[in-house]
Amino acid sequence: MTTTTLSSHADLPSRGPLLTRGGWGSILIALLVVCAVAPVLNLLVPEGSPLHLSDYMVGLLGKIMCYAICALAMDLIWGYTGILSLGHGLFFALGGYVMGMYLMRQIGTDGNYKSELPDFMVFLDWKELPWHWALSDSFIATLALIVLVPGLVAFVFGYFAFRSRIKGVYFSIITQALTFAAMLLFFRNETGFGGNNGFTDFKRILGVPITTQGMRMTLFVITGVTLLGFFLWARWLVRSKFGRVLQAIRDAESRVMFCGYDPLPYKLTIWTISAVMCGVAGALYVPQVGIINPREMSPASSIEIAVWTAVGGRASLLGPIVGAFLVNGAKSWLTVTFPEFWLYCLGALFIAVTLFMPEGIVGLVRKMRRAGK
């Protein structure tokens, strides 16, 4: 049988557009640019002005943008490749812990125990740093580890899982089991990750106080630019030949194999890329929120990432970002106004989307636009 390329194989299945077309991409880019520039302009607006963003709002939007990166990463593997992961909270937390270790070393002797060791180590009567803290005082090494640690974990896990052809609900279950096992490991004090409390009480980053308005704005802008960069990269990726192969794997993996393509390297590559994106999101999340603990690895956290993606709309790139902002914005309001009903609202939203809007909010808007023409 002669091997053919997907670019010339018009009969390979394709489901839905590669990206929201028309003005959607431009609108998203404009909104992200505004999000990145707004804090800079905020420094020029007096605090009494209605255009001034409070520190709380800057922190909230920065946190949600980190979540949006995770949702975008989920869309690449679930929406475009058909792989549902219920363990992406692990990669988010790994990136967060790497950054948290660096921030803990930046505290120096300003901690409660006036020791070079983190306070929790002094409390546990540790005499020296564990081996895995060796590079935690270097910012350059930290940036490298933010990418390498979740990427390596994802690569090793994905290689054995995809080589064994585990797919569907079975793959989802083992990813959830992986993140649950990691959560239990990080809860143990002897692992050197702060146990139940994790890392908190950060003081500085690159020698600059982390709680200053200027640093908060800087982190906000970096997060916005990172989200924009990942969106543009994902847009290029799914429009490329590599992206078309991923969508063919999603729709009919056996046909892709008959065409001469091995799905393993494609699935493993996008799986690792997705994990790295979540790790970067976690690293940006920690200095803005001020804490990281094993609860970020809970199965519920990973399920929420899937909910954001489903609510916004899979295989659209824009949808997961919209879903992350919508769900977390509602969560921020409902947990204050009606805290006892928040989980019920989240469950009802997910059921409603599954039954009545399988393509999410973006898909519903598309249908309405087509119906109006």
3-state DSSP of the chain: CCCCCHHHCCCCCCCCCCCCCCCHHHHHHHHHHHHHHHHHHHCCCCCCCCCCCCHHHHHHHHHHHHHHHHHHHHHHHHHCCCCCCCCHHHHHHHHHHHHHHHHHHHHHHHCCCCCCCCHHHHHCCCCCCCHHHCCCCCHHHHHHHHHHHHHHHHHHHHHHHHHCCCCCHHHHHHHHHHHHHHHHHHHCHHHCCCCCCCEECCCEECCEECCCHHHHHHHHHHHHHHHHHHHHHHHHHHHCHHHHHHHHHHHHHHHHHHCCCCHHHHHHHHHHHHHHHHHHHHHHHHHHHCEECHHHHCHHHHHHHHHHHHHHCCCCCHHHHHHHHHHHHHHHHHHHHCHHHHHHHHHHHHHHHHHHCCCHHHHHHHHHHHHHC
How deeply is 370 buried, as exposed, middle or buried, from its count of CB atoms within 10 A (0-12, 13-18, 19+)? Answer: exposed
Give residue-wise pLDDT tens across range 124-141. 889 899 999 999 999 999
pLDDT value, residue 51: 60
pLDDT value, residue 49: 63
- Mean pLDDT for 276-298 is 96
Give percent of the chain with pLDDT exceeding 70. 86
pLDDT value, residue 21: 45
Give residue-wise pLDDT tens across range 24-79. 556 566 665 656 566 655 665 666 666 667 778 888 989 999 999 999 999 999 99
pLDDT value, residue 352: 83
Higher-confidence residue: 251 or 109?
Answer: 251
CB atoms within 10 A of CB 208: 12
Calculate the average pLDDT of the chain: 86
Instruction: Give the confidence band of 302 by pLDDT, cuts at 50, 70, 90.
Output: very high
In this predicted structure, the answer to whether residue 8 has a pLDDT above a threshold of 80 is no
In this predicted structure, the answer to whether residue 12 has a pLDDT above a threshold of 50 is no
How deeply is 214 buried, as exposed, middle or buried, from its count of CB atoms within 10 A (0-12, 13-18, 19+)? Answer: exposed
pLDDT value, residue 13: 37
pLDDT value, residue 237: 95
Instruction: Give the confidence band of 346 by pLDDT, cuts at 50, 70, 90.
Output: confident
pLDDT value, residue 50: 61
pLDDT value, residue 289: 95
Q: How far apart are CA 160 and CA 149, in angstroms?
A: 17
What is the C-alpha R_g of the chain? Answer: 22
Give residue-wise pLDDT tens across range 138-168. 999 999 999 999 999 999 999 999 999 999 9
- Mean pLDDT for 296-308 is 93
- Beta-bridge partners for 157: none
pLDDT value, residue 180: 95
Instruction: Give the confidence band of 181 by pLDDT, cuts at 50, 70, 90.
Output: very high
- Mean pLDDT for 207-228 is 89
Give percent of the chain with pLDDT exceeding 90. 60
Strands 291-292, 208-209: pairing is unpaired
pLDDT value, residue 3: 39
What CA–CA distances, in Å, run from 345 to 306, 324, 351?
16, 15, 10
- Mean pLDDT for 109-135 is 87
pLDDT value, residue 309: 94
Q: Is the pTM of this model over 0.75?
A: yes
